[in-house]
Structure 1
Amino acid sequence: MTITQDRPTAEHTALDLAGDDYATITVHKVTESIGARIGGVRLGGDLDARTVAEIRRALLKHKVIFFSGQDQLDDAGQYEFAGLLGQPTAPHPTVRGNEHAVLPINSDHGKANSWHTDVTFVDRIPAISVLRAVQLPAYGGTTTWANTATAYERLSPALKALVDRLWAVHTNLYDYVAERDEKRIGGIDVQEQAYRDEFASQVFETEHPLVRVHPETGERTLLAGHFIKRLVGLNTHDSIDIFNLIQRHVTRLENTVRWNWSPGDLAIWDNRATQHYGVADYGDQKRVLHRITLAGDVPLSVDGVHSTSRKGDASHFSSLS
């Protein structure tokens, strides 16, 4: 596969992320490093182009944005709105969804209580994720996001020089529910096991740079998370140590925002510049959120080299943006 792509510049970054003036929406930061609440807009497929552009600009700047009071949205409305921001992908490379490209994030299938960026085991990592609350527990069920662009910027020059040259193999054969409750008699229940088997029904492996250049902002972001199998060219011990080092920088509390879901909430995050973690703090209550992902590009290293698929063809999942 031959891919041509202009390499983003530092000037491009300053242009895209500068300014806090919005004409059609309100934007209020949640933390200094990441996250903003967006108001003054009723989401749907009928939004005008200026409002959509301002939502996208806020997303690029704040990495994850939150909307409240969007009770009018159902799966079809969520799909129509998401389509204004980009091209929806299939629900997942291996897991079935529904006709509106929705992947249900359902606690009956397990709890994604581990830091990750969505679907990094394929070459064409989704650009944006749109997540809507459907059924919430009486307490808990929060989600936390981390900014992988600021995590990179805050590295020392020596660590930047190290990670700029490293590559990692990502795979979907990660144990997605590694922190599951082992106290149940018989271990994992049948429904959860069936979902995990479907998740791993087709094996994907992709070699990605540990640092990618964001295709819209030009920022350097850390591409890590729990789908990493190993770092290329390093032994197991060194891979684990460097992986843990990077994850520690990404997930420092000062670099994160935690969202307590309410009915009618919708979150959008830049999947190219974040990791997230669904906090399993709600016991045996049911929690359901519906996710739509938007097509992204093949990551580009700081040296201008694209990621390479090692196993599996993701063309059925997503076109390239």
Structure 2
Amino acid sequence: MPSLTITPVAGRIGAEITGVRLGGDLHPDVVAELRQALLTHKVIFLRGQDHLDEQGQVGFARLIGEPTAAHPTVPALHGNAHILDLDYSNGHKVDRWHTDVTFVDRPPLASVLRAVIVPEAGGDTLWANTVSAYEHLPVELRDLLDRLRAVHTNQYDYVRAATVDERAREHAEVFTSTLFETEHPVVRVHPETGERSILLGDFAKRLSGLSAHTSGSVIRLVQEHVTEVENTVRWRWSPGDVAIWDNRATQHRVVHDFGDRPRRLHRVTIAGDVPVGVDGRASTVLSGDAAAYSPIAA
């Protein structure tokens, strides 16, 4: 059995792991060690996984949990129903902080992202630790957030889309081809660690029971805190790198500083549970049925 070396790469989030060759045949003890590192560090990075192909990536993901469909609305990579092809040469641009697929009632447990083609410089990805962000809030603000709920939706910002090209607008139309809306607690209790984490990001559009102006002000305030540099880690990609993050405890975004140079990554997401708030209330579906996208993890 290989011996893993786990090296933190930032003070509050992120660790690089060496000594393991990812695939669907890993020993259960290695999988358990990787999962514990994921819970501890929120995002883990493994370089040099050039041997992985689509089948191997999905095979490894199955050791963490049940893979979801590629996306609730966006088609999967041809030939593999579990892989979302993040090809940034097609006008697709996601440069805002978000947690994956929070517009459904069962956001992924984790995501496994593999670098296929990356620019020689630029195109890094940032992650933020939403647990440490919560823990470093003033207690009065934590108490407020514990009681709030937010509506998340995949409704696209067409004002923003007007500034990009036709391919990006076509992607936005596919992205919103089925409308999903879910009311989540702003603070969820992590089902494995019991930690409290902030559940917001770019899919959070308004706070339940508050005016649009107040909602926007509170969400901006909290998001600015979540994404403070002390809560973040930045990863410089090389082909063959794999990043795995706990989607229940992080947000992330791409740095779009690579112009028209190609950047392509493949993502597999792992089925997650329905978030539960500090008060014990679970998330509530307002629109859309995500059953075809993902089972609800036990």
TM range (shorter): over 0.9
Structure 1 residues 1-321: aligned runs within 5 Å: 24-98=3-77, 99-107=80-88, 108-175=90-157, 178=160, 182=163, 187-189=164-166, 191-321=167-297
Quickly say closer, same or farther: Cα 1:317–1:262, change in 2 above 3 A. same
Call closer, same or farther: CA 1:269–1:253 in 2, change over 3 Å: same
Aligned partners of 2:29, 2:159: CA distance in 1, in Å? 41
Q: Deviations over 1:249-270 (max 9, x none)?
A: 1000011000000011000000
Give 1:138 shift. 2.3
- Offset, 1:217: 0.5
**Aligned-residue CA RMSD in angstroms?**
1.6
Amino acid at match of 2:134: Y
Q: Which blocks of at least 5 consecutive residues in structure 2 are unaligned? A: none
Aligned AA for 1:65? I
TM-score (norm 2): 0.96
Distance 1:227 1:218 in 2: 24
Unaligned runs of 5+ in 1: 1-21
C-alpha distance in 1 between matches for 2:273 and 2:191: 8
CA contact (8 A) 2:156 2:172 kept: no
* 2:106/2:296 contact within 8 Å kept: yes
Deviations 1:187-245 (A, max 9, x none): 522x3222211101000000000000000100000000000111000001110110011
Aligned residues: 294
1:286: how far off? Answer: 1.5
Structure 2: distance between partners of 1:23 and 1:59: 18
User: Kindly, what percent of the aligned residue pairs are identical?
Assistant: 56
The one-letter code matched in structure 2 to 1:249 is: H
Give the CA deviation at 1:177: 9.6
SS of equivalent residue, structure 2 residue 150: strand
State whether residues 126 and 234 of structure 2, in contact with CA within 8 Å, keep that contact through their aligned partners in structure 1.
yes
Does the CA contact (< 8 Å) of 1:213 and 1:220 recur in 2? yes
CA contact (8 A) 2:2 2:19 kept: no
- SS of 2:147's equivalent in the other structure is coil
Q: Distance in 1 between matches of 2:159 and 2:197?
A: 26
State how far apart, in whole Å, the 1-side matches of 2:242 and 2:159 are: 24
Question: Secondary structure of the residue that 2:178 maps to in structure 1?
Answer: coil
Q: Structure 1 residues 152, 176: closer, same or farther in 2, change over 3 A?
A: farther
Counterpart contact for 2:93–2:168, Cα < 8 Å: no
TM-score by length of 1: 0.89
CA distance in 1, matches of 2:205, 2:218: 12
**One-letter code of the match for 2:271?**
A
Distance 2:128 2:135 in 1: 13
- The 1:109–1:316 alpha-carbon spacing in structure 2 relative to 1, beyond 3 Å, is farther
